[in-house]
Amino acid sequence: MMFLHKFLPFLFQPLTISLILVLFRRRAFVWAAVLLLWISSTPVVGGLLARVAEGPAERARATEAPTADAIVVLSAGRIIAPGHAAISEWEDADRFFGGVELFLAGKAPLLVFTGAQPNGPRGVPLEGETLSTYARGLGVPQDRIATTGAVANTQEEANGVAVLLRVQRAGPTRVLLVTSAFHMPRARLLFERAGFAIVPFPVDFQYAAGSRLNVMDFLPSAVGLQKTHAMLHELYGRLFYRVTGLFAAG
């Protein structure tokens, strides 16, 4: 199942399709590959896909959020920088700061971080352990922080949090879920399947409010292709879990 989850989206990415078309070595296929790669590399297409993935979500102030039993911050991905110190660096800090802001605003008595393995050598602290240290430095008491064990994807995060919280609470738990806006629909689906009542708190928006188009938005770029790839990967993942959920229900 994990193989399908990772491999199928790769097959349907614009870059993969373009490379396959080129292999046919026919002029029509080559031009189709060029056109597909050009379109998918434009910032305007990546932005539109981000808008679709994020839906009607809006960024709210932490003080405006409702209360819950726990705040759950999903891992955002960290890397280990070169060097003997093996320092873990941010890829995105919005999830962390969103969770801490909610806690300091008094929205829940417990702050939970999930334990993704940072990209780099094995044996370094899990992401949740590193973020716990940062949270304590910002005034969150140690006894109000919890972390899951090692997790590799959103499904494992939901399962790990379920195990962790149900040791402390019986029955359904109301959770303020903090993750990227484009990732929230899939994360919410999986956490609700794990038995949680979810209050979404989306952060890390990829679509800028009030953005205006200019000529550069229609020119291909590596950044544009990266955003298109990321948004399609998320949409494919959302579809995968919905389809597999239907089969499981049947």
User: What's the confidence (pLDDT) of residue 242?
Assistant: 82
CATH of 62-203, one of 3.40.50.1780, 3.40.640.10, 3.40.50.12780, 3.40.50.620: 3.40.50.620
Name residue, tokens 């090692």: 150
Give dist(CA 238, CA 56) in Å, integer: 16
User: What's the confidence (pLDDT) of residue 248?
Assistant: 47
Domain boundaries defined on the chain: 2-56+218-249, 62-203
Model confidence, pTM: 0.91
User: What's the confidence (pLDDT) of residue 250?
Assistant: 37
User: What's the confidence (pLDDT) of residue 5?
Assistant: 61
Q: Average pLDDT per run of 10 along the chain, which is 250 residues long? A: 65 93 94 97 96 96 97 93 88 95 97 91 88 97 96 94 80 89 96 95 93 92 96 92 62
Report strand pairing: 88-90 vs 145-151. unpaired
User: What's the confidence (pLDDT) of residue 249?
Assistant: 44
